[in-house]
Structure formats: C-alpha cells, structure tokens
Amino acid sequence: MLPVIQNWAQAFIDPLRVLGLARLPRYLRQLAKYRAGERRLTVRLRDTYPRLTDGVRQTPFDPHYFFQGAWLARELAAARPARHFDVGSSVLMVSTVSALVPTVFVDYRPLQVELPGLGCIAGDVCRLPFADDSVSSLSCLHVIEHVGLGRYGDPLDPEGSAKAARELARVLAPGGRLYLSAPVGRARVCFNAHRVFDPRSLPELLTGLRATSFSFVDDAGNFHRDREPAAAAANEYGCGMYVLVKDR
C-alpha cells in the first residue's frame, strides 16, 4: 500500500480494531473455557472486557518516545541542573524526570496534577512566560514539528516551527542547555500531522545556539548515540535528539 493511502486509511479505520475482529472467535472460545473452569467467581456477560490485540510475542513500544525519554533522563542525570523546564513533551516522561531534578512543565493545555518535584504552568511554545536568557536547563521533545499545523487546535502558521525554535533560544540562558528532539530525514510537511526536518539544517532554526551532540532513532527503531547529523539524513521518519548550548 502506498504510504499516502495508508495515512488516509488510518484517519478513518483503526487497524487494531480490524485485527481485533479477526481474533474475536478465539476470545469467545477462551471465555467459554475459562467459565467452564472457574469455580469461585462467575464471569458475567456485563463484566466482560475484551482486549483482542494484546497477545503479542514482544512488548510493543514507540521507539521515538522510548529512546528520547531514556536519552533525556541520562543527560539530566549527568548534568545535574538545579532546576529543569520542559515545554510540551510527553507527560509520562516528565513525571519520571521530575524524580531526578525539580521540573516545571509548560503546556498550553496545563497538566492538572500534584506530584512532588513537578510544577505545571500554562504557556505557549511561541510565547513562553519567561524572560530572555532566564532558563538554564530546557527540553522540548517531539513538539516543534506540530506547531502551526492546526492539529491540536493551534492557529495555522507555516512558520510555526521556526517561531517555536526562536522562542526556545530566546529564553535559554547563556551557558544553558536545550534538549530538543524532532522528526528527521527527508524534509517535508505531512499536513496536518507533523513536519520532518533535515537533521543537518534543523539547528539553523535556533539562532545563537550551537549543537554539541546529536543522537537519533532510525527508521528501524534503533538508537544511535553521539553521531553526526548527516548519519540520519537518509531516514524517512527518524527522531533526532540534539543538545544545544547558548554561548556565554
């Protein structure tokens, strides 16, 4: 199937649910067998809760989010900042990172939780509520590629990613570190899901910052640490992870 056809089909058809229909007969057989063997607690029809696609041989995971979370946690464990700020990244990752270092999570849809070590505030990645040169440790993972595409209710703006990048650079303190990730490979706009950036040119969006290290996840889901950005250029949809520093 051509990728564009697959992309459109997935907007209307959930592949997992289609697969689930094929596994329904097996579920019904297992239900009957379990009922026949259960002696203490009868399984009533109103309490059944079919999970039809979880019986796989290996634990499924999203390589981009798995590896970028592991990468950031290790970077912060080595850097040991007194305080860390994150803009819009995975909330599951942020909940874990906040155990390593006090963390402030910024999102235009503020997270409504109470957790030791984690503070949550409202903010737009294109208009962050921080002064110039004020944040010494900052992350924004798998976020800027969405800005301006309207996917999450944000205004359409072809310059959305560039504006977000400039705002991250604005608030970063001299000597501070920005941990940034985004899709990399064949540069394009996949409207309205995300953008994909050439890994060699993405740092150019962050005026005044220089990349000190680059790691990436390739199309096969393999993690490559401390490589040159050119090594990721041939990917279709990789995940590039940059450590960028603002010079003093």
pLDDT of residue 11: 85
pLDDT of residue 7: 84
> How crowded is residue 12: how many other Cβ atoms within 10 Å of its Cβ?
6
**Looking at the domain covering 63-246, what would its CATH class be?**
alpha beta
Q: What is the pLDDT of residues 98-109, one digit of tens each?
A: 999 999 999 988
Q: What mean pLDDT comes out for the span 160-165?
A: 98
Domain locations in the chain?
3-47, 63-246
Task: Please state the pTM of the whole predicted model.
Answer: 0.93
pLDDT at 36 over 70: yes
Question: Which H or E run contains 18?
Answer: helix 15-22
Q: What is the pLDDT of residues 74-86, one digit of tens each?
A: 999 999 999 999 9
Parallel/antiparallel/unpaired status of strands 135-141 and 172-184 = parallel
CB 87 within 8 A of CB 138: yes
